[in-house]
Amino acid sequence: MTRRPFLTLATATLLCAAGLPLFAQTSGGLKGLILDMTGRPIPGVTVAVSDLEGRSVAGVVTDPKGSFRIVPLPPGRGYRMKVSFPGMATVEMSDIDVPPGTVAAVSLTLVPERAVREHVRVVYHHDTVDPDETTTQTRFSAEFIDALPLLGRDYQDVLALAPGVTDIDGTGNPNIHGSRDTDVVTLVDGVSTVDPLTGRVGQQLNIDSIQEIEVKTSGASAEFGRAQGGFVNIITKSGGNEFAGDFKVFFRSSLIDGQGRLTDDSSFLHGGVASKKLSFKDLRPFVSVGGPIKKDRAWYFLTAEYVRREEPVNASTQVFVMPTTEKRIFGKLTWDLLANQKVTFSAAVDPQDYGNLGIDSHTLVESGYTSRLGGTNLVLKETAVFNPNSFLESTLQWFEARPGLVPNLGADTNGNGIISVDRNGDGIIEPTERDPGEDWDNDGAWDVFEDFDHSGRLGTGEDRDGDGHLTPTFVGCEGATREDQDCDGFFDVRNEDRNGNGILDPGEDLDGDNRLDKGGEDRNGNGRMDDRPFPSPNHKFPFVQPAGTIGYDPPYYPYDRLRPLPGDRDYLLPVGRGFTQGPYYQDFNGHRGRITLREDLTVFLPDARGQHDLKIGGVAELENYEQMIHSRPYLIRYPRTRIAPAPFPSRSRAMPRTGPPV
């Protein structure tokens, strides 16, 4: 068992001149300048912004210099801006893009209303190359992702489209500019979802919950940290004023796909060793809905996806299916408490099971295992706007993952509920103390007392259990229903130590075995040893002794020859020929978590010898992981080797002479 708490505290303060965009990575904004036809700024111009759903987001008035600034805004596409001033023609600008962490610059020139004779529609898009941007990054919008012909439903499939990003091994952990795959941090709505132990992907997301993916490959600002390769910043979707829903389903089956793309004709390539036809199917339904709880005040968004994928595998000596089961559920609630205060709560769960791992042409399916991943991510975010030039974003996250490994065949193979037996009573479970079941010597026969003549040898007629050897006294009697518990052939009566001195005194040996017996073996209380070599399924307490019978006389207790309950099987690893079989020798369950508190304060100083953006932020993270590993002994079987006898010397060979020549 291992446990590791880890606490980091990072505080960054950054001053930049002339309006460099430095906002929380989950927010954006708009700024601009309103001029007349002569190039002079126009103060007092009304600027109103609405989103794609038609919700009024913000409204400001230009300052004496004709400039305006609207922050923060949720990143997205389809914003509309309406600019109006008395005596001037009203201008409406649509399709405005607001990237995360960026304040998009918009400049307009107003003309007198009498000079406008036709309606002009202005379309604005954020510059592909931003001269004020110091970060090398690539953005993928939801519309772009939806139009891609992706083979999978993982957001990692999109990351490799960014320059400098590769995922050669296909694990979903990208490599950025040659760095390790553990040097990439994935942020979802501003907080990390990286596994605290491995540094790799800690949670999968339903791809329909993603509004935008931003891949930063170099030059990340001070608000990013704990990575040497790069960052993946994911912004999730929110609901709007209009109800919207989507449902899709993908299906694949062996009925329409033959033996599957991962199998081949075993009779042609493998000599017919594995010619069994497999039955498999893939099923991936997913649904997403969103809409208002209360228009212009509260909204919801919910998406759920179920993945059942079965991959057929032909391992030359056997064919099997590798199943994968995933559930990806994401929900988000957004509430505008006040005009300057917004609260957002999101929850994501992603349990994952990957079955039949560790199997190959020399390992049976029963010796495989299932890997379990996934967890829960809860994020609470509050945005407070103090004035048009300053706002604070507070984020609280609780992230939890519960990985595990479960063998296909459980360790308790005989089903008696016992894994090990502490025979020597030292409190330590040793490798040799695995559950023997009822067959302690593993000979497949019920061992009962046989040495009736006390000769120490197996005499004629004494092999009552038919195993070919003498059952050792005091050790070998097997079975929970035995009355001869110490296997000495004597009927031990209850408590021969009448004076309690712990010594067999004269007259206390009631059963004549010359041993002091403190406990009785007469479990049914009939005064006889009702025992037999081969108990039947109904041979349970209390014993029933038929009238006119003596002991366990075979004519009255027929030999049904049932085998004893065998011991638990071990993981058997053969050397050379043979198959690995038995329950996988290890299982574990773990817990990994992270609690994050993040504060981002942004202040804009318009008249401090120029314009400046000041950002002060802090992140406190408490990480922990623990896991319990259960390892059992496994057996290695070496092939038997025959030692060839030494060849008899041939007469043709020169032999040393021991006497005079003849």
Q: Name the more confident of 330 and 18.
A: 330
pLDDT category at 589 given cuts 50, 70, 90 is very high
| Sheet containing 230-236: order of strands | 136-141, 210-218, 230-236, 184-188, 191-192
pLDDT of residue 578: 84
Q: Is the pTM of this model over 0.75?
A: no
> What torsion, rounded to 10 degrees, do the Cα atoms 337, 338, 344, 345 define?
-20
pLDDT of residue 643: 58
pLDDT of residue 70: 85
What is the arithmetic mean of pLDDT over 377-400? Answer: 90
pLDDT of residue 324: 93
pLDDT of residue 73: 83
Q: Which residues pair with 141 in a beta bridge?
A: 212
What is the arithmetic mean of pLDDT over 88-107? Answer: 81
What is the arithmetic mean of pLDDT over 428-453? Answer: 81
- On the question of pLDDT at 149 being above 60, the answer is yes
- On the question of pLDDT at 506 being above 90, the answer is no
What's the sign of the alpha-carbon dihedral 404, 410, 416, 418?
A: negative
Question: Pick from 564, 532, 632: which is nearest to 416 by CA?
Answer: 564
- Length of the chain counted residue by residue: 662
Q: Name the more confident of 220 and 275.
A: 220
What is the arithmetic mean of pLDDT over 293-317? Answer: 88
Give the start-end residues of each E strand in 438-546.
none
pLDDT of residue 300: 94
Among 88-97, 524-533, 615-624, name the most confident range.
615-624
The DSSP code sequence of 313-365 is EE-SS-EEEEEEEEEEEEEEEEEEEETTEEEEEEEEE--EEEEEES--TTB-G
Q: Which residues pair with 627 in a beta bridge?
A: 2, 590
What is the arithmetic mean of pLDDT over 161-172? Answer: 83
- On the question of pLDDT at 540 being above 50, the answer is no
171 contact partners, CB below 8 Å, separation of at least 6: 181, 200
Q: Name the more confident of 278 and 631.
A: 631
Q: Name the more confident of 217 and 152.
A: 217
Question: Pick from 367, 411, 420: which is nearest to 569 by CA?
Answer: 411
Count of C-beta atoms within a 10 Å radius of residue 332: 22
* Ramachandran region, residue 205 (left: φ > 0; alpha: ψ -120 to 50; beta: rest): beta
pLDDT category at 304 given cuts 50, 70, 90 is very high
CA atoms within 13 A on the CB side of 272: 0
pLDDT of residue 645: 59
- On the question of pLDDT at 372 being above 90, the answer is yes
Angle, alpha carbons 205-207-212 (nearest 5°): 100
What is the arithmetic mean of pLDDT over 191-200? Answer: 89
What is the arithmetic mean of pLDDT over 238-248? Answer: 88
* Tokens, residue 528: 């006889």
pLDDT of residue 484: 75
pLDDT of residue 523: 65
pLDDT category at 36 given cuts 50, 70, 90 is confident
pLDDT category at 75 given cuts 50, 70, 90 is confident
pLDDT category at 658 given cuts 50, 70, 90 is very low
pLDDT category at 134 given cuts 50, 70, 90 is low
Instruction: Report the percentage of the chain scoring pLDDT > 90.
Output: 18
What is the arithmetic mean of pLDDT over 34-57? Answer: 83
User: What type of residue is 101?
Assistant: G
* Tokens, residue 519: 């406990």
pLDDT of residue 2: 47
- On the question of pLDDT at 500 being above 80, the answer is no
Please name each of the domains of the chain with its CATH number.
21-123 (2.60.40.1120), 136-236 (2.170.130.10), 438-566 (no CATH)
What is the arithmetic mean of pLDDT over 465-477? Answer: 77
Q: Name the more confident of 316 and 67.
A: 67
Question: Pick from 636, 577, 639, 640: which is nearest to 431 by CA?
Answer: 636
The DSSP code sequence of 626-654 is EEEEEE--EEEEPPP---PPPPPPPTTS-
Instruction: Report the percentage of the chain scoring pLDDT > 70.
Output: 76
What is the arithmetic mean of pLDDT over 174-195? Answer: 86
- On the question of pLDDT at 183 being above 50, the answer is yes
pLDDT of residue 453: 80
Burial class from Cβ neighbours inside 10 Å (0-12, 13-18, 19+) for residue 617 reads buried
What is the arithmetic mean of pLDDT over 629-642? Answer: 82
- On the question of pLDDT at 620 being above 50, the answer is yes
* Average pLDDT taken over every residue of the chain: 77
Residue in this structure with the two tokens 């003849």, named with its chain if needed: 662
pLDDT of residue 305: 93
pLDDT category at 445 given cuts 50, 70, 90 is confident
Q: Name the more confident of 379 and 548.
A: 379
- On the question of pLDDT at 302 being above 90, the answer is yes
pLDDT of residue 647: 57
